[in-house]
Amino acid sequence: MFQKKTIKDIDLNEKKVFVRVDFNVPLKNGKVVDDTRIKAAIPTIQYLLNCNAAVILASHLGRPGGEPKEEFSLKPVADYFEHLIDARVLFVNDCMGAMVEEAAKNLQNGEILILENTRFHPEEEANDPLMGAKLASLADVFVNDAFGTAHRAHASNVGIAKHIPAVSGLLLEREINYLGNTISDPEKPFIAILGGAKVSGKINVIDNLAGKVDYFLIGGGMANTFFAAQGYKMGDSLVEEESLGIAKEILKGTGKKLLLPIDVVISDEFSASANNKTIPIGDIPESWSIMDLGPLSLNKFGKIIRDSKTIVWNGPMGVFEFPAFAKGTFSMAKIVAESNAVTIVGGGDSAAALKESGLSDKITHISTGGGASLKMLEGSLLPGLEALNDK
């Protein structure tokens, strides 16, 4: 059960509502190239408009380093957003100060005001109490719907919550329900598919899930470190020498639960046009590297996936940026999408593979947060959620 108050628990009629959204989207030449996060915030914003609230939206974009920089302006995002919603949308080129106060005061019910990048002020990431108070002074109610930054304690998601009623938006609630509640009480068999470059980033995830999952299916560069810990020669493969000790411990602790690839695609250099071949797992020839899962591994993992009831997937199965080594990740996307299980996907790379394959809508829940979703899988509390009012 979600334990925080949400927008459905409070009166929003004619209220000024400050919503922290995650509009931290990729831009190219001043144009939004992926609007997933913007669209994910719309149910909350639309709900507030339907309640006759005046809506103030705040977000960060990129890492401007605490000062205004044009390339990190939210103006192009505001322009884009305007076309997605049937309401008057205004933009103000700061998030604090007299001009912002005036714009917030004049904002009418049913209208939207988008503030400039919160990270144009160093006080944001320092969670400066004064900034939290100033942001709060703009509104009657605070709504956090920015799951992507919920693992950070900043002024616009934590500081502000001390001053006015603070509740969750619909996206944040959904993320927590899937990444927290579903995973803490999953329908079994429950499996975690983990990939990506490093073991070190996922040790806490493995620790937290070890008592809950039936299987870990490991792919990507992560698997190399486990193979090295088992004594195989890894050629030029990416191996985290400093994680060999912990990898050995994990192998011992998880036993037959942790499944590694049985065949792999190797290449003679780290490039898109490298020579490649598929081999059963064993010593990797000198100066060759593991780049992807092989077909036998996909077949073996696929059988387990098809028998599962709950699946969480985080991280690519290979160097999917090169088409020659993307098959493992894209085949995995297809296998996960075709499963009848509750499927929960975190991490930008896995989500991107699903999107590119046109399979996103076959997944139960694709998280909008990379770092935040890993924190949830680690079982950590998120400051942005903790700061909200209890039910």
**Which residues are annotated as catalytic?**
37, 198, 348, 371
Smallest gap, in angstroms, from Cβ of residue 257 to ligand AMP? Answer: 21
Residue closest to ligand AMP (Cβ): 196
Question: Is residue 22 part of the contact set for ligand AMP (CB under 6 A)?
Answer: no
User: Site mask, ligand AMP, residues 162-201, x = CB under 6 A?
Assistant: ----------------------------------xxx--x
Question: Is residue 110 part of the contact set for ligand AMP (CB under 6 A)?
Answer: no
User: Site mask, ligand AMP, residues 320-359, x = CB under 6 A?
Assistant: -x-------------------------x-x----------
Question: Is residue 315 part of the contact set for ligand AMP (CB under 6 A)?
Answer: yes
Question: Is residue 238 part of the contact set for ligand AMP (CB under 6 A)?
Answer: yes
Give residue for tokens 């050995």.
Answer: 248
**Tokens representing residue 260 in the block:** 């590694």
Q: How far apart are CA 224 and CA 199, in angstroms?
A: 9
How many residues sit in the footprint of ligand AMP (CB under 6 A)?
16
User: Site mask, ligand AMP, residues 274-313, x = CB under 6 A?
Assistant: ----------------xx----------------------
Sort 108 into a burial class: Cβ within 10 Å, 0-12 / 13-18 / 19+: exposed
Smallest gap, in angstroms, from Cβ of residue 321 to ligand AMP? Answer: 5
Cα torsion 131, 133, 137, 140: sign? positive
Residue ranges that bind ligand AMP, judged by CB under 6 A: 196-198, 201, 220-221, 238, 290-291, 315-316, 318-319, 321, 347, 349
